Chain A
Amino acid sequence: MPRTLTINGQEISARSDQTILEAAQDANIRIPTLCHLDGLTDVGACRMCLVEVAGASKLLPACTTRVQEGMQVQTDTERLRAYRRQIIELLFAERNHICAVCVANGHCELQNAGIAVGMDHVRYDYLFPKLGVDLSHERFGMDHNRCILCTRCVRACDQLEGAHTIDVMGRGAHSLIVHDMNVPWGEATTCTSCGKCVMACPTGALFKQGSTVAEMVHDAEKLAFLKAARERKVWNV
């Protein structure tokens, strides 16, 4: 049963099982995202895709909210723009994101999001947490300083590779990506070294060993390709 709704005043129709984000994408309306990745399930973690829905008292994440008949959605209001910039600034303040010395400089979704929201400086105090770099894996590295806890690596490992080597430990800002039962990555016996987590990472947190500043280009689109190939036998190359 199709649903009819409006996004930014534009009337669109969507399948009843679609999210606001999917319906918007089909109608070529861009809603900013960070933790969303085509090919993985959505978790609503980053809050970048929050939208205003008429009649709802709260802002709703477009990636995890199903469309409804007659829904009136606004994706780009002054209020949403202000919140999105706040979210990006808080992400920059929370860990040690130093673009100038980052492997992902120039190819980073966080850096791009900063540009998109018009961030010329961060209004919050930087926390400068002491975080480690795990280089125990022979091919890949994990720099917690650059992690935004989007959990795309966790979902790629679980949903596409099926290994579920990666998970999240702790709470709030103290959360940390861990391998197996919090062992060094190189000692994680469930890891198949497939590299899907590295492809999924939006920042320089996961990288190929030996890459230096600005050399790490992720390959996130490959995950959507893989899912389509596996589930629908579609090989778009």
Chain B
Amino acid sequence: MGKLRFASVWMGGCSGCHMSFLDLDEWLFDLAEAVDVVYSPVADVKTFPEKVDVTLVEGAIANQDHLELIHVIRKNSRLVVSFGDCAVTGNVTAMRNLIGEAEIVLDRAYKDAQLLRPQVPHDDGIVPPLIERVVPVHAVIPVDLYIPGCPPPAKRIRAVLQAVIEGKSPEMIGREMLKFG
């Protein structure tokens, strides 16, 4: 059996899920034996490749870039995994939905809270425009697996990846695997 083509992406999240992924410590060597990392925030690859076996998606869908990339990810990945609470529920990233839509949120951040030259950055190509409402990944594309947790504990990530490597479906049962937060 050849190596699995493995990707991870960082959408609207704090990168804490990737930090927890790095908490896998020496098991990362075993993982490196079983997968090729073809796209990741920790690998310098600019475009999302084709024929990916498994993609971990950290973060909610919060801006235009996320929205465009997530469709490419779905098209090019055999398994898409919602990785952590932001991807699974929207979590803290989606708390801006309580204030209102994008313009209201930007005003709150860039105008209401600024004393010195308050202005919302609008220049094209600088920062991606926010979408009106933050949504979990499965609200946009079909998702194959969910790993809850803020962040998911390393043991939980390992249990899922181990199963995926062995071609099994992970047993998402009990506190160890399912506790949010």
Q: How far is the CA of A115 from the CA of B174 in the complex (A)?
A: 6
| Chief secondary structure at chain A's binding surface | loop
Please give me the residue from chain A that is nearest to B87 by CB atom.
A121
Specify which chain B residues have a CB less than 8 angstroms from the CB of A214 in the assembled complex.
181
Mark contacts of A115-132 with chain B using CB atoms, 8 A cut-off: 1 yes-contact digit, 0 otherwise. 100111110011010100
Q: How far is the CA of A102 from the CA of B180 in the complex (A)?
A: 11
A141 at the interface (CB under 8 A from B): no
Given A99-B180, A111-B179, A126-B94, do A121 and B133 touch, yes or no (CB 8 Å)? no
Mark contacts of B135-152 with chain A using CB atoms, 8 A cut-off: 1 yes-contact digit, 0 otherwise. 110110001001010100
Specify which chain B residues have a CB less than 8 angstroms from the CB of A121 in the assembled complex.
82, 88-89, 136, 138, 143, 146, 148
Q: How far is the CA of A122 from the CA of B148 in the complex (A)?
A: 11
Q: Which of B82, B94, B139, B174 contacts A128 (CB 8 A)?
A: B94
Q: How many A-B residue pairs have CB under 8 A?
A: 67
B137 to chain A, nearest CB (A): 9
Q: How far is the CA of A126 from the CA of B139 in the complex (A)?
A: 10
Contact B181 A99 (CB under 8 A): yes
Contact B181 A102 (CB under 8 A): yes
Q: How far is the CA of A128 from the CA of B178 in the complex (A)?
A: 22
The 4 closest A-B pairs by CB, nearest first: A99-B181, A100-B150, A120-B146, A128-B97
A-B contact pairs, 8 of them (CB 8 A): A98-B95, A99-B85, A100-B92, A101-B92, A111-B181, A115-B174, A126-B89, A126-B90
* Chain A contact residues, CB within 8 Å of chain B: 92, 96, 98-102, 105-106, 111, 114-115, 118-122, 125-126, 128, 130, 145, 214
